[in-house]
Amino acid sequence: MKFPVMKQARNSLYRIFPGLFPLPKEYYNWYGFINTSQWWDEKQLKEYQWKKMKEMLAFCNQNIPYYQRVFRNMGIIPDDIMTEDDFQKIPFLTKDILGKHTEELLPIGINRSKLIKYNTGGSTGMPLIIYKTNIDDTIEKAFTNSQWARVGFEPKDIRVILRGEVIEKNKLWKYDPTYNSWIFSSYHLSKEFITQMVNKLNNIKPKFLHVYPSSLWVFANLIIENNLKLHFIPKAILCGSEKLFDHQRKLFSEVFGCRCFNSLALAEQTIHAGECEYSNDLHIFPQHSYIELVDDAGKIITEPGITGHIVGSNLHKYSFPLIRYLSGDMAQYAKGPCKCGRHFQRFSQVEGRVQHMIVSRDGRIIPLTALVFGQHLQAFNKVEKMQLEQWHPGEVNVKLIKGTNFNAEDVQILIQQLTSASENTILFSVSFHDELERTSAGKHKFLLQHLPINYYNFDQNS
């Protein structure tokens, strides 16, 4: 909507009649399909999945330059892929490859004005660019809402969102009429603001909290430490986008008196999975994507209890299709069937990403997602790797492996952009390196956090 007055009027209407403006028709078609097909038997689900996969492979062969080359190099056409064994010969798409061939993964001649560009974390700490369209968002929403319906969610239900977001003008919250939700600032999680935030929460009485576990972990600890009381019981806490640790699940249930409902959905849309009415296993939607689990050598894992890399292939995302994509997440299959009766594969454990937090000068705990990945930093185009290190509250050193064109002016711009994103509560310095510290498994570490405060200690019981 172009006119602010109209937008204001629309917002007021939404506020009085949440859900007045319906979701697009496609949403209802998808929602209906998902709800019916979730009870299909294994054979029906497999047949549907394979049919969609074949359609996607044919589309890639006709429209996606990257896959045209892959198939040419393999000396095949998609019609040659008759079985799952054939499919497994398609090379994995790693984050490095995605980063190098982003534009070649777009369909030839796509109307770029319809594309929405966004960032997701890459394997070296540098963000990757991913594209999507409105229809991709609509489909994703139908899957999400179908999953949340298992704990009683309806789209009109009032929600409070705490997912690493910064609210403009340094506010503590704002109302988003589109989804009848209140977005709480993840930049103000401190003793100074917690009472105001809890009062507001008691006033809203949300039916659901939709959170990053790391942000709610800080929030819940502040409630306890400041002896604050909640005057409502939500139906459930909807967690996602990060690893949910057992100690977090336990604390959230104690503080809010309800169930935590975890899910796994990636920005790349190569997997969508969630808990069910009865179990904490993540039920993987076979109608959404084609999932494989592989070991370090790329060999398929089928047995439960063995940790492997999640490999996902889009079945419906024609704007930027990813086939056999290694997201970097690791999981194990769960044993036996589930009481709910869905014939879905399930993950019992997922080693998702751990959200990184840094501390500002005034003691606020700030998630790095908002501070760094949300900023579209110019430097991302010019450095090879980035790592942040914190020894003292309010001070962060940015360690860089430079690319060829990175110069003194870029350093200044980087510091300015980060400082302003932190609202001047963090002093940034920059240092250059040839190598950056890695985990014992050789993975890139995005943050070296040396502050010994229990908030950062997400791994404590795992």
Binding site for Zn ion (CB under 5 A): 276, 279, 338, 340
CB of 279 to Zn ion, least distance (A): 5
* Distance from C-alpha of 428 to C-alpha of 371, rounded to nearest angstrom: 12
Comparing CB distances to Zn ion, the nearer of 36 and 404 is 36
* Contacting residues for 161 by C-beta, under 8 A, at least 6 apart: 176, 181, 182, 183, 184, 209, 210, 211
Comparing CB distances to Zn ion, the nearer of 149 and 411 is 149
CB of 346 to Zn ion, least distance (A): 7
Three-state DSSP class for residue 183: strand
CB of 48 to Zn ion, least distance (A): 19
- Whether the Cβ atoms of residue 213 and residue 247 lie closer than 8 Å to each other: no
Comparing CB distances to Zn ion, the nearer of 91 and 305 is 305
Q: Identity (one letter) of the amino acid at 418?
A: L
Q: Enter the tokens of residue 267.
A: 């920005």
Comparing CB distances to Zn ion, the nearer of 188 and 272 is 272
Comparing CB distances to Zn ion, the nearer of 34 and 322 is 34
Give the residue ranges of DSSP H helices in 319-438: 368-371, 408-421
CB of 344 to Zn ion, least distance (A): 8
CA nearest to 242, candidates 183, 162, 181: 162
* Contacting residues for 361 by C-beta, under 8 A, at least 6 apart: 393, 394, 425, 426, 427
CB of 342 to Zn ion, least distance (A): 6
Q: What is the 3-state secondary structure (H, E, C) of 101-120?
A: CCHHHCCCCCCHHHCEEEEE
CB of 243 to Zn ion, least distance (A): 20
CB of 281 to Zn ion, least distance (A): 7
Comparing CB distances to Zn ion, the nearer of 253 and 279 is 279
Comparing CB distances to Zn ion, the nearer of 228 and 340 is 340
Residue 435 class from Cβ within 10 Å (0-12 exposed, 13-18 middle, 19+ buried)? exposed
